[in-house]
Amino acid sequence: MPIYEYQCKACGHRLEKLQKISAAPLTDCPACEAPVLNRLVSAAGFRLAGGGWYETDFKSGSKKNIAGDSASTGSDVKPPAKGGDTKPPAKDGAAA
């Protein structure tokens, strides 16, 4: 359930209220009891950003890297070794 912010137009009192999305907005100020509460627009409490956070988080063991698993995709391309050389292999097969 989201937390909504309200401000009274009469006395300026501000409050937060945990409500269902389908619930009607509050109208009566708890401080001065005037029926002039205004729901404020506020920023969301979280943001989903980036690519694949759901793919790689919370996985363990052999399921850790589904996207880069060459055995399951039938690909013979190997990812570069960690901390190793990033140069592409020589075209003639000779070692560099």
Q: Of 38, 34, 13, which Cα lies nearest the Cα of 26?
A: 38
Determine contact, residues 31/8, Cβ cutoff 8 Å.
yes
Q: What is the rounded CA–CA span in Å between residue 41 and residue 2?
A: 12
pLDDT < 70 regions, the chain: 45-96
Task: Tell me the C-alpha to C-alpha distance, in Å, between residue 36 and each of 18, 22, 31, 87.
Answer: 19, 20, 11, 68
- pLDDT, residue 57, reads 61
DSSP helix/strand/coil, 70: helix
pTM: 0.46
Going from N- to C-terminal start, the domains of the chain cover 3-40
Determine contact, residues 16/45, Cβ cutoff 8 Å.
no
